[in-house]
C-alpha cells in the first residue's frame, strides 16, 4: 500500500510528501474502511475516536462515504461533520479522488473557520430579519405619520388662502414656514417609506402590458410644479421605432421615472432636461449585466436616458451614490435625500430585472440611464 502511495508521485524527493503533508491523508476501500493513513490523520482521528482504524469512516463522520463518492470526480471540496454520538462537534473539509483500491481522501480540520462562518451567516440572516421587521413596522405605521402631516399642510394652506379670515403679514410669514416645512417633512418621510419598502421587497408585483410613453408622461406631470417653478424645459426624444407597449410593472416603472426626473429637476437650475427613449443594442444590454434570452432582439429591452444640466456628480459622490446610510454624516441634506432616491431606484430596477448607471461630467451635467426588459418572457424566466 505504501508503494501505491509512492507511485502517485513522479519525483523521488516527493515520495514521502503524503506522509509529511500537514493534512489528514487517508486511503479508503470502496466500503469506507481504512487501508492507510498518514501520521497527521493518525493524530487527528485518534482524538475523535481512539480505535478509529478498526471502524468505517461513516462511523466518524455523518454521510462521509456518500459525500466522498459524490465529489471524487468533480474536483470539489465538501464539509463533513463528526457524528453527534461522538460528542465531538468538529468539521472537516475534504477532497477525494477515486483510485484502483478505493478513494484517496485529504481532510483538513476546518472547525473554527466553519463555526465562524456559520455564526456570521446566522447573524446576517438575523440582521436581515430585523431589517425586514423594522421596515414592515415602519410601513404599517406610515398612515399614522402621513395623516397629521397632511392635515397640517392642508389647514395651513387653507389659512393662507383666507379660509379662516384675514391674517396679518407676520402670521402669513409663520404659517408659510409651517406649510413649507411640513411639505418637506412629508416628502422626506415618503422617501423613507419607499426605501424601506424597496429594501424588503414590500411592493406588490403587478406585471402587465401597458404604454411606456404614457407612464413617462405621468412621471413628468408629477414633477410639473417643480419644473414650472424653475422655468425648465423638458425635451423628450422618443425613437420612431419604439415599441410603446411593454410587459413590466407599471407602478414600479412610474415610481422609478418619477424619482429620476425629480433628481434631474433638483440638479438643474437653468436650461433643459432631455429624455431619450429607445431600444438599446444587445451589446450594451450584455455589457450592463443583462443576459438576453433566446431569440431576443433589440426591441426586447427598453432604455430611458434622462440628462440634466447640473454641476455633475463628483467621483467621491458616485462611490456612495446608492448608499444612503453612508451619507448620514454628510452635512449636505440634499445629498442624503438624493442617495435615498437612488437606492430606491436601484432596488426597484432589480425587481424589474433591469439595470441602472449614471454618466456624469463636471459642469456638464449627468445622464441617468436605465434598461429594463420589455417582453413577458424575460419577467417569467428563471423565477
- 265-295 tens-digit pLDDT: 999 999 899 999 999 998 998 888 887 777 8
Flag whether pLDDT at 134 surpasses 80: no
More confident residue, 162 or 173: 173
* Distance from C-alpha of 218 to C-alpha of 86, rounded to nearest angstrom: 67
Which of the pair, 130 or 42, is modelled with greater confidence?
Answer: 42
What is the C-alpha to C-alpha distance for residues 302 and 212, in angstroms, rounded to an integer?
Answer: 9
Of the pLDDT bands very low, low, confident and very high (cuts 50, 70, 90), residue 223 is very high
Q: Return d(Cα 243, Cα 245) in angstroms, integer.
A: 6
- Please list, in sequence order, all residues whose beta carbon lies within 8 angstroms of the beta carbon of residue 243, skipping any fewer than 6 positions away: 279, 299, 302, 374
Instruction: Retrieve residue 190's grid coordinates.
Output: 415618503
Range ranked top by mean pLDDT from 32-41, 164-173, 341-350: 341-350
**Among candidates 175, 171, 134, which has minimal Cα distance to 157?**
175
Look at 320 and 217; give whichever has higher pLDDT: 217
Residue 21: pLDDT band by 50, 70, 90 thresholds?
low
Cβ atoms within 10 Å, residue 221: 12
- pLDDT of 74 strictly over 70: yes
Q: How far apart are CA 309 and CA 364, in angstroms?
A: 6
CA dihedral 247, 249, 250, 253 (to 10 degrees): -110
Q: Higher model confidence: residue 370 or residue 3?
A: 370
Q: How confident is the model at residue 189 (pLDDT cuts 50, 70, 90)?
A: confident
Question: Does the pLDDT of residue 345 top 60, yes or no?
Answer: yes
Dihedral, 39, 43, 44, 46 alpha carbons, nearest 10: 120
Return d(Cα 285, Cα 303) in angstroms, integer.
10
| Local confidence band at 122 (pLDDT 50, 70, 90 cut-offs) | low
Per-residue pLDDT for 4 more than 80?
A: no
Rounded CA-CA distance 215/11 in Å is 72
Indicate the angle between helix axes 169-199 and 142-160, nearest 10 degrees: 160
pLDDT at 209: 95
Task: Please choose, from the candidates 327, 185, 366, 346, the residue with its C-alpha nearest in 3D space to the C-alpha of residue 259.
Answer: 346
pTM over 0.75: no
Residue % of the chain over a pLDDT of 90: 36
More confident residue, 97 or 131: 97
**Is 290 within 8 Å of 355 (Cβ atoms)?**
yes
Q: In the sheet where 78-81 sits, what is the strand order? A: 34-37, 24-28, 103-109, 91-98, 78-81
Cα separation, 94 vs 82, in Å, equals 13
Through-space distance between the first and last CA atoms of the chain, rounded to whole angstroms: 52
Interval 245-250 mean pLDDT: 94
CA distance 98 to 30: 9
Averaged pLDDT score across all residues of the chain = 84
For residues 273 and 110, the model is more confident at 273
Half-sphere exposure of 166 (CA within 13 A, CB side): 1
Say whether pLDDT at 17 is over 70: no
Q: What is the pLDDT of residue 3?
A: 45
Amino acid at each position: 500500500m505504501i508503494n501505491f502511495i509512492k507511485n502517485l508521485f513522479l519525483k523521488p524527493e516527493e515520495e514521502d510528501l503524503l506522509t509529511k503533508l500537514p493534512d489528514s491523508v487517508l486511503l479508503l476501500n470502496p466500503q469506507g474502511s481504512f487501508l492507510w493513513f498518514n501520521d497527521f490523520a493518525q493524530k487527528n482521528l485518534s482524538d475523535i475516536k481512539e480505535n478509529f482504524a478498526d471502524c468505517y469512516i461513516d462511523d466518524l463522520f455523518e454521510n462521509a462515504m456518500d459525500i466522498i463518492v459524490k465529489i471524487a470526480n468533480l474536483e470539489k471540496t465538501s464539509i463533513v461533520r463528526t457524528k453527534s454520538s461522538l460528542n465531538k462537534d468538529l468539521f472537516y473539509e475534504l477532497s477525494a479522488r477515486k483510485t484502483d483500491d478505493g478513494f484517496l481522501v485529504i481532510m483538513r480540520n476546518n472547525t473554527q473557520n466553519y463555526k465562524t462562518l456559520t455564526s456570521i451567516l446566522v447573524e446576517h440572516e438575523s440582521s436581515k430579519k430585523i431589517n425586514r421587521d423594522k421596515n414592515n413596522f415602519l410601513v404599517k405605521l406610515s398612515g399614522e405619520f402621513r395623516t397629521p402631516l397632511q392635515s397640517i399642510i392642508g389647514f395651513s394652506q387653507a389659512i393662507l388662502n383666507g379660509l379662516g379670515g384675514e391674517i396679518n403679514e407676520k402670521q402669513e410669514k409663520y404659517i408659510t414656514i409651517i406649510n413649507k416645512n411640513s411639505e418637506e417633512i412629508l416628502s422626506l418621510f415618503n422617501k423613507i417609506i419607499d426605501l424601506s419598502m424597496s429594501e424588503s421587497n414590500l411592493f406588490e408585483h403587478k406585471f402587465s402590458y401597458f404604454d411606456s410613453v404614457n407612464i413617462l408622461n405621468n412621471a413628468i406631470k408629477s414633477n410639473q410644479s417643480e419644473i414650472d417653478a424653475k422655468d425648465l424645459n423638458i425635451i423628450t426624444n422618443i425613437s420612431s421605432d419604439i415599441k410603446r407597449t411593454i410587459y413590466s410593472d407599471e407602478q414600479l416603472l412610474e415610481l422609478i421615472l418619477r424619482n429620476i426626473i425629480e433628481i434631474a429637476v433638483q440638479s438643474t437650475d437653468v436650461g433643459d432636461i432631455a429624455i431619450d427613449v429607445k431600444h438599446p443594442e444587445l451589446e450594451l444590454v450584455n455589457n450592463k449585466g443583462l443576459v438576453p434570452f433566446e431569440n431576443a432582439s433589440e426591441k426586447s429591452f427598453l432604455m430611458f436616458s434622462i440628462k440634466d444640466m447640473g454641476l455633475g456628480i463628483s467621483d467621491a459622490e458616485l462611490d456612495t451614490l446608492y448608499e444612503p446610510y453612508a451619507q448620514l454624516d454628510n452635512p449636505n441634506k440634499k445629498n442624503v435625500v438624493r442617495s435615498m432616491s437612488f437606492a430606491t431606484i436601484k432596488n426597484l430596477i432589480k425587481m424589474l430585472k433591469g439595470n441602472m448607471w449614471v454618466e456624469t461630467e463636471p459642469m456638464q451635467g449627468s445622464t441617468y440611464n436605465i434598461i429594463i426588459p420589455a417582453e413577458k418572457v424575460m419577467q417569467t424566466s428563471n423565477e
